[in-house]
Amino acid sequence: MFFSKDLPSPTSFFTAYASMAGYMMMIRSMTHQLIPGPVQDFIYSSLHSLLFRSTSTTLTLTIDDDNMGMHNEIYQAAQTYLSTKISPEAARLRISKGHRDKHVNLYLSDGEAVNDVYQNVELKWRFVTDRGDKKGDDDGRSEYFELSFDKKHKDLILNSYIPHVESKAKEIRDERRILMLHSLNSLRWESVILEHPSTFKTIAMENELKRDVMEDLDRFIRRKDYYKKVGKAWKRGYLLYGPPGTGKSSLVAAMANYLKFDVYDLQLASVMRDSDLRRLLLATRNRSILVIEDIDCAVDFPNRLEQQQPGEGKNCGDSQAPLTLSGLLNFIDGLWSSCGDERIIIFTTNHKDRLDPALLRPGRMDMHIYMGHCTFQGFKTLASNYLGLNDTTMPHRLYPEIERLMDGEVITPAQVAEELMKSEDADVALEGLVNVLEKMRFKANELSPVLKKKESRLERDEMRARPDTEGSPRKNSKRIKKLVLFWT
């Protein structure tokens, strides 16, 4: 009875509780009115960190786009990587499409999260947009990713997972990227979309040569640190030579599609000075292929030098110096060649023997690739492309005859492709190709004795020629070669 008199009644207890709750509601309302939202968030997060610091095992990394005034590469990699991890249950997404994108891209919107697993470690990504004090005010807006995981995996995430994200993001960007073809217009690069369909699968080359080229390209791409270690510019030079119509341009397109590199088509005939060449090459981007076609006849360097007037050249400064061979070589492997990374330089020519030996020196053209006449293996690739024929199951009945007629340097891949395009019926197209091959072989056999007789007669005339009227033996030899080429 004594204790029951001292204890408060239930009515007084609930009255005190209601009064206290009212005071708390009033204080909370005043707090929201007087204290800005960001300050409240800071206080709450500080209290949370203070109360639960000893028990929490989660580490959260913040990744924003600002890196001391420059773009944060990890932020951009995360944005690309997470675009492929978006859950179908996501309620809000951002959508965008750049002028060099093939398709629209989806990205996380404010508050959306993505779960990921790496080496059995669970990770959570969250995209956050902080708009500052005033809603709708973009001046103070900041965007960032939060990456949360168990603290004990910190080293794995920093040393392995983040590089994994960057590597995957690069693959995704390459897959989405639209390749561009850059050409000269009044000494400025103009760009169009490169839509050449040539690939290493469709090009008419020997399988072994394809593998060699692809392995060389792969080795070049992965050896960035090696080039830096040995003190060489990260570039690679290729010389493609062979008769017209053998697929040199198609190989360039196949290399560009394989590497996902832009192509710069440099017409040297449009470049008059070394300074112009330097400016054009400095304007090219990394991860690109510079192509100089028909280098043997693209520009006549000796004539450019002969036309140089007295007082020009070195005395007038580099800006007035004409385009020279030494200037071109300096851009290939001199100091200017190091102005950029992941560069490929390709020269093409129909006549390798006409090139200045300085262009062929090791270190300038690293790999020489002969693009010859169509072989039977190359023909089978073209037959698969144009007619859908597959020789692994049941070769066509005309294949043995075509293989016999193609033995030797008879027909180019371009000529084969032209015949195969004349009909969608495989029998009709291949019969037409057989007729063309028979005519070519007949003409070659018929012309061969005539050429031998002509060459023999020209050699006799050279021996009888007098130096004072016919010129030097060297000039006569050149004249004979020109005549033989004419008859060919």
Residue 300 counted as domain residue: yes
Mean pLDDT of 447-471: 54
Mean pLDDT of 220-246: 91
Binned at pLDDT 50, 70 and 90, residue 468 comes out as very low
Residue 451 counted as domain residue: yes
Per-residue confidence (pLDDT) for residue 41, from 0 to 100: 66
- Strands (DSSP E) contained in 19-65 are 58-64
Start-to-end Cα distance in the chain: 132
**Same structural domain for residues 167 and 192?**
no
Least confident segment among 250-254, 333-337, 449-453, 476-480: 476-480
Is-contact 238 344, C-beta < 8 A?
yes
Binned at pLDDT 50, 70 and 90, residue 228 comes out as confident
Per-residue confidence (pLDDT) for residue 174, from 0 to 100: 83
Half-sphere exposure of 18 (CA within 13 A, CB side): 6
Per-residue confidence (pLDDT) for residue 466, from 0 to 100: 46
CATH number at residue 322: 3.40.50.300
At residue 194, what is the residue type? Answer: L
User: Which DSSP state fits 177?
Assistant: B
Mean pLDDT of 152-169: 95
Nearest residue to 383 via CA among 399, 372, 370: 399
Mean pLDDT of 41-68: 72
Mean pLDDT of 125-144: 71
Least confident segment among 51-65, 126-140, 142-156, 230-244: 126-140
Residue ending a domain, among 147, 176, 205, is 176
Residue 229 counted as domain residue: yes
142-150 and 121-130 strand pairing: antiparallel
Backbone angles phi, psi at 56, to 5 degrees: -75, 135
Nearest residue to 224 via CA among 112, 110, 342: 342
Mean pLDDT of 288-315: 63
Mean pLDDT of 422-427: 94
Is-contact 349 239, C-beta < 8 A?
yes
Binned at pLDDT 50, 70 and 90, residue 481 comes out as very low
Per-residue confidence (pLDDT) for residue 309, from 0 to 100: 46
Single pTM value for the model:
0.69
Higher pLDDT, 282 or 215: 215
**Same structural domain for residues 186 and 322?**
yes
Number of independent structural domains in the chain: 3
Higher pLDDT, 449 or 76: 76
Per-residue confidence (pLDDT) for residue 152, from 0 to 100: 93
**Same structural domain for residues 104 and 164?**
yes
In this predicted structure, the answer to whether residue 54 has a pLDDT above a threshold of 70 is no
Q: CA dist 10 to 19, 21, 159, 446, Å? A: 14, 17, 62, 124
Mean pLDDT of 439-464: 65
Residue ending a domain, among 124, 145, 176, is 176
Per-residue confidence (pLDDT) for residue 306, from 0 to 100: 45
**Same structural domain for residues 158 and 243?**
no
**Same structural domain for residues 194 and 297?**
yes
Higher pLDDT, 113 or 22: 113
Residues in contact with 91: Cβ distance below 8 Å, sequence separation at least 6, in sequence order:
112
In this predicted structure, the answer to whether residue 464 has a pLDDT above a threshold of 70 is no
Q: Taking the mean position of all CA atoms in its chain, how far away is CA 18?
A: 71
Least confident segment among 3-12, 96-105, 324-333, 357-366: 3-12
**Same structural domain for residues 274 and 187?**
yes
β-strand partners of 128: 144
Residue 234 counted as domain residue: yes
**Same structural domain for residues 450 and 347?**
no
Residues in contact with 380: Cβ distance below 8 Å, sequence separation at least 6, in sequence order:
389, 391, 399
Higher pLDDT, 333 or 485: 333
In this predicted structure, the answer to whether residue 471 has a pLDDT above a threshold of 70 is no
Mean pLDDT of 399-404: 94
**Same structural domain for residues 191 and 244?**
yes
Residues in contact with 434: Cβ distance below 8 Å, sequence separation at least 6, in sequence order:
398, 401, 402, 405
In this predicted structure, the answer to whether residue 403 has a pLDDT above a threshold of 70 is yes
| Highest-scoring range by mean pLDDT, 255-269, 338-352, 469-483 | 255-269
Residue 324 counted as domain residue: yes
Least confident segment among 163-167, 261-265, 329-333, 372-376: 329-333
Q: CA dist 153 to 58, 59, 75, 156, Å? A: 10, 9, 20, 5
Higher pLDDT, 119 or 325: 119
Least confident segment among 120-134, 160-174, 252-266, 294-308: 294-308
| Residue range(s) defining the domain that contains residue 142 | 55-176
Distance CA 136, CA 131 (A): 7
Least confident segment among 37-46, 86-95, 301-310, 349-358: 301-310
Residue 335 counted as domain residue: yes
**Same structural domain for residues 196 and 164?**
no
Residue 462 counted as domain residue: yes
What would the pLDDT profile of 15-52 be if each residue is shown by its tens digit? 776 677 666 777 767 666 666 666 666 676 666 666 55
Distance CA 325, CA 139 (A): 54
Q: What's the chain's average pLDDT?
A: 80
Q: Count how many residues are written for the chain.
A: 488
Binned at pLDDT 50, 70 and 90, residue 472 comes out as very low
Per-residue confidence (pLDDT) for residue 47, from 0 to 100: 64
**Same structural domain for residues 268 and 405?**
no
Per-residue confidence (pLDDT) for residue 165, from 0 to 100: 96
**Same structural domain for residues 293 and 147?**
no
Mean pLDDT of 467-476: 44
Residue 167 counted as domain residue: yes
Higher pLDDT, 3 or 68: 68
In this predicted structure, the answer to whether residue 377 has a pLDDT above a threshold of 60 is yes
Residue ending a domain, among 176, 202, 217, is 176
**Same structural domain for residues 341 and 414?**
no
Per-residue confidence (pLDDT) for residue 128, from 0 to 100: 92
Dmax over Cα atoms in the chain, in whole Å? 151
Per-residue confidence (pLDDT) for residue 196, from 0 to 100: 93
- Exposure pattern of 16-32 as b/e (b: 16+ CB <10 Å)? eeeeeeeeeeeeeeeee
In this predicted structure, the answer to whether residue 96 has a pLDDT above a threshold of 80 is yes
At residue 309, what is the residue type? Answer: Q
Is-contact 144 75, C-beta < 8 A?
yes
